[in-house]
Chains A and B, each alone.
Chain A
Amino acid sequence: MIIIDGKSYPYQPDTTVLEAVSQLGIQSDNMVLVVIDGRVMPWNQLDQELIQDGVEIRLLHIVSGG
């Protein structure tokens, strides 16, 4: 299983991070930070990184700047 924002999803091998978050309608977008096991993944690498079984992903939405 993988966890995205606290919800569990089946693990599918050979799935990129981008493919995994795209299931939730998230586009590759620099205003959404993808945090994988506590580390921010640069958004231009999302389609290169394969997810691992048991990974925890959080999606953080930038709403302001400062």
Chain B
Amino acid sequence: MWSTLNINMKNLTVSRVPFPDKYREMGGRGLIAQYMMDHVPPTCDPLGEENKLLICTTVFAGTNLTTAHRISIGGKSPLTGGIKESNAGGYAANLLAGQGIRMAVVEGLPDTDGLWLVHINAKGEVALEDATAYEGTNNYEFVDKMHEKYGKTIATISIGSAGERIHRIASIQISEFGEGYPSRAAARGGMGSVMGSKRLKAIVIEKPETRFEPEYADRETFKAVCTELNKVIATGAKADPFRNIGTIATIEATGLSGVLPVENFSGKLFPEYTEVGANKFLTNLASRGGRNKQICQPGCVVKCSNVYNDKEGNYLTSGFEYETIALFGPNCRISDLDVIARMDRICDDCGIDTIEVANAIAISMEMGKIPWGDGEAAIGLLQEIKDGTEFGQLLGNGCEVVGNALGCKRIPVVKHQGMAGYDPRNTKGTGITYATSPQGADHTAGLTLGRAMADTGRAAQGYASNKLQVAMAFADSMMCIFAFANCVPSMPLLADLMAGLYGGKPDITRVTGMGVKTLLTEKAYNKMAGMTEADDKIPEFFKTEASPATGSVFDVGDAELACILNF
């Protein structure tokens, strides 16, 4: 039987209790949505006693479905003020599932000063331990210390100094499978600050002596379908640029079309994007002993991850992704991939959302605080976050805070959350997703690039956003969206898997319904938290400033946006 790990930071206790049957067929984003609705008052203070931090595995946890061991971390976001699900790869969900843990619930605030971590040993025993010795320790050093103490077959879920300081854009870093670098980020929405508010430094999970096995309604059918679906995904992944290059390949699609953000979403083109593009990346990997086609969790067949080394061939960062490169790169007019890699490392180390802080740095450049394109000055600003300076405190609370402090009129946020690496004027469906997703400006909630007619046109963009938002809502309950993208032609097999694991008939509406229900629950939660249609808005400058690259503005009206998630 699956367990819930209850971590009570008020009583300073940790215990395992049976996982509630009502959530049996839920996981990841869907589980977070329903659990929040059931147990977390929508009007609570995100950094207060009543908010909970939820750490969930997927609906297919414990099985051999490729990428079923994504981790979803959620709660009420101190950044958006609404519901948040932030997911990542890495090894932790695999080991949580192996330990028979379907979700962890962190609740309450300690009455005393201190810092704690939860340790789950190889026998499955759980303990809340004093972690004051690690106060101020950033993620890389922390993981090294955990490896010294417990060996390398562990996974860690940790916050760095940004989370301890309760910065609203603090991430939670998950260690990747293999070397264990803390480079997989549950980054969006400030879940790291929720963890920090509860004075929980980390959860450290040892590989279990005996791996937990879920109960199958029809094990043989499940296994046969799983094998078939894994093959479908693996076949699709062979022609996927993410496998062959990495997610940086996306810049080859966005760099020439005006979708790539340039100079704080000016809408211009940046011909130097090739200096931070796929070819430069591959050259640097090959000449320095770096690697692509890496997995972040066991059993992944997409293999989109990478290890990026510096000029001397020493490890610099891993999980070096498009969003980070686009937003620290062309959006700041920085054209040095090594500088951006150093920035990625700093963010993973102190535990901060690269998308959010890169937007803040672009705004800082626009307002003249540092020059455009000055990579070393940008690194200096990140160091200010680590050092806790006055401006560092602003940066640590997101690009809207920085923009308002500096008097910037062009702040690319929706629901207070910074936009990802896609200019909404030139991928309007993605702009519709940014505006209407309960998650705020979140590209993973429904990226429509290339999906519906012309990206700068309006035809079918709303339709594409609606369909993709539903798809992503159930995909984020099941697996990695990159694997999901490669299984779309065989999507009915997901229904077969649900039946094989949970019983009942294979029915695709059981899968698609998961997505609709999740979205409706999230919307309802946000409404009760005080959000209105006024929060479903793209910033004004995208509507009035035409993109110089294409002449396009974001011209989807409020009435149309109001209809997108009306099911």
Binding site for B on A (CB under 8 A): 5, 29-31, 33, 35, 38-40, 42-44, 58-66
Residue-wise, chain B 406-417 has the 8 Å CB interface mask toward A (1 for contact) of 000000000000
- B residues 323-337 near A (Cβ < 8 Å) are 323
A60 to B243, CA, bound (A): 10
Does residue B236 face the partner (Cβ distance < 8 Å to A)? yes
Q: Is the CB of A64 within 8 A of B482?
A: yes
Q: Is the CB of A66 within 8 A of B322?
A: yes
Select one of B254, B278, B323, B481 contacting A64, CB under 8 A.
B481
Q: Is the CB of B249 within 8 A of A62?
A: yes
Q: Distance in Å from the Cβ of A32 to the closest Cβ of chain B?
A: 9
Given A43-B256, A65-B422, A66-B482, A38:B282 Cβ within 8 A: yes
Q: Is the CB of A30 within 8 A of B253?
A: yes
Q: Is the CB of A42 within 8 A of B242?
A: no
A63 to B482, CA, bound (A): 8
A39 to B322, CA, bound (A): 18
Residues from chain A with Cβ under 8 Å of B323 in the complex: 66
Does residue B274 face the partner (Cβ distance < 8 Å to A)? yes
Residues from chain B with Cβ under 8 Å of A58 in the complex: 239, 244
Q: Is the CB of B239 within 8 A of A40?
A: no
Does residue B279 face the partner (Cβ distance < 8 Å to A)? yes
Given A30-B256, A62-B450, A66-B482, A35:B250 Cβ within 8 A: no
Q: Is the CB of A35 within 8 A of B244?
A: yes
Q: Is the CB of A31 within 8 A of B450?
A: yes
9 additional contacts (CB under 8 A) given A42-B255, A62-B250: A30-B254, A30-B450, A42-B252, A42-B274, A58-B239, A62-B253, A62-B450, A64-B447, A65-B322
Q: Distance in Å from the Cβ of B273 to the closest Cβ of chain A?
A: 10
Residues from chain B with Cβ under 8 Å of A29 in the complex: 450
Given A40-B278, A42-B256, A43-B256, A65:B240 Cβ within 8 A: no
Does residue B443 face the partner (Cβ distance < 8 Å to A)? yes
Interface SS, B side: helix
Chain B count of residues within 8 A CB distance of the other chain: 36
Does residue B245 face the partner (Cβ distance < 8 Å to A)? yes
Q: Is the CB of A63 within 8 A of B240?
A: yes
Residues from chain B with Cβ under 8 Å of A38 in the complex: 282
Q: Distance in Å from the Cβ of B458 to the closest Cβ of chain A?
A: 19
A56 to B250, CA, bound (A): 22
A31 to B368, CA, bound (A): 36
Q: Is the CB of B449 within 8 A of A65?
A: yes
Residues from chain B with Cβ under 8 Å of A35 in the complex: 244
Q: Is the CB of A62 within 8 A of B241?
A: yes
- In the complex, what residue of chain A is closest to B322 when comparing beta carbons? A66
Given A30-B450, A31-B450, A66-B250, A60:B443 Cβ within 8 A: no
Residues from chain B with Cβ under 8 Å of A39 in the complex: 279, 282
Q: Is the CB of A60 within 8 A of B240?
A: yes
Q: Is the CB of A61 within 8 A of B481?
A: no
Does residue B230 face the partner (Cβ distance < 8 Å to A)? no
Q: Is the CB of B252 within 8 A of A40?
A: yes
Q: Distance in Å from the Cβ of B215 to the closest Cβ of chain A?
A: 32
Select one of B236, B279, B450, B488 contacting A40, CB under 8 A.
B279
Does residue B121 face the partner (Cβ distance < 8 Å to A)? no
Q: Is the CB of A60 within 8 A of B244?
A: yes
Q: Is the CB of B253 within 8 A of A33?
A: yes
A29 to B252, CA, bound (A): 11
Residues from chain A with Cβ under 8 Å of B255 in the complex: 42
Residues from chain A with Cβ under 8 Å of B422 in the complex: 65
Residues from chain A with Cβ under 8 Å of B282 in the complex: 38-39
- B residues 254-272 near A (Cβ < 8 Å) are 254-257
A31 to B449, CA, bound (A): 8
Residues from chain A with Cβ under 8 Å of B481 in the complex: 64, 66
Q: Could you pull out 7 A-B pairs where Cβ atoms are within 8 angstroms?
A: A30-B257, A31-B253, A35-B244, A59-B239, A61-B240, A65-B449, A66-B247
- In the complex, what residue of chain B is closest to A43 when comparing beta carbons? B256
Q: Distance in Å from the Cβ of A43 to the closest Cβ of chain B?
A: 7
Does residue B366 face the partner (Cβ distance < 8 Å to A)? no
A65 to B245, CA, bound (A): 13
Q: Is the CB of A30 within 8 A of B247?
A: no
Residues from chain B with Cβ under 8 Å of A44 in the complex: 256
Does residue B321 face the partner (Cβ distance < 8 Å to A)? yes
Q: Distance in Å from the Cβ of B103 to the closest Cβ of chain A?
A: 24
Q: Is the CB of A63 within 8 A of B249?
A: no
A40 to B249, CA, bound (A): 9
Does residue B138 face the partner (Cβ distance < 8 Å to A)? no
The 3 closest A-B pairs by CB, nearest first: A31-B450, A64-B485, A65-B447
Residues from chain A with Cβ under 8 Å of B274 in the complex: 42
Q: Is the CB of B277 within 8 A of A40?
A: yes
Residues from chain A with Cβ under 8 Å of B245 in the complex: 33, 40, 60
Q: Is the CB of A60 within 8 A of B447?
A: no
Does residue B34 face the partner (Cβ distance < 8 Å to A)? no
A58 to B282, CA, bound (A): 15
Does residue B51 face the partner (Cβ distance < 8 Å to A)? no
Q: Distance in Å from the Cβ of A23 to the closest Cβ of chain B?
A: 17
A33 to B246, CA, bound (A): 12
Does residue B444 face the partner (Cβ distance < 8 Å to A)? yes
Select one of B277, B278, B486 contacting A63, CB under 8 A.
B486
- In the complex, what residue of chain B is closest to A66 when comparing beta carbons? B247
Select one of A30, A60, A64 contacting B239, CB under 8 A.
A60
A44 to B269, CA, bound (A): 14
Residues from chain A with Cβ under 8 Å of B444 in the complex: 66
Q: Distance in Å from the Cβ of B29 to the closest Cβ of chain A?
A: 15
Q: Distance in Å from the Cβ of A36 to the closest Cβ of chain B?
A: 11
Residues from chain A with Cβ under 8 Å of B254 in the complex: 30
Residue-wise, chain B 478-490 has the 8 Å CB interface mask toward A (1 for contact) of 0001101110100
- In the complex, what residue of chain B is closest to A60 when comparing beta carbons? B241
- In the complex, what residue of chain A is closest to B278 when comparing beta carbons? A40
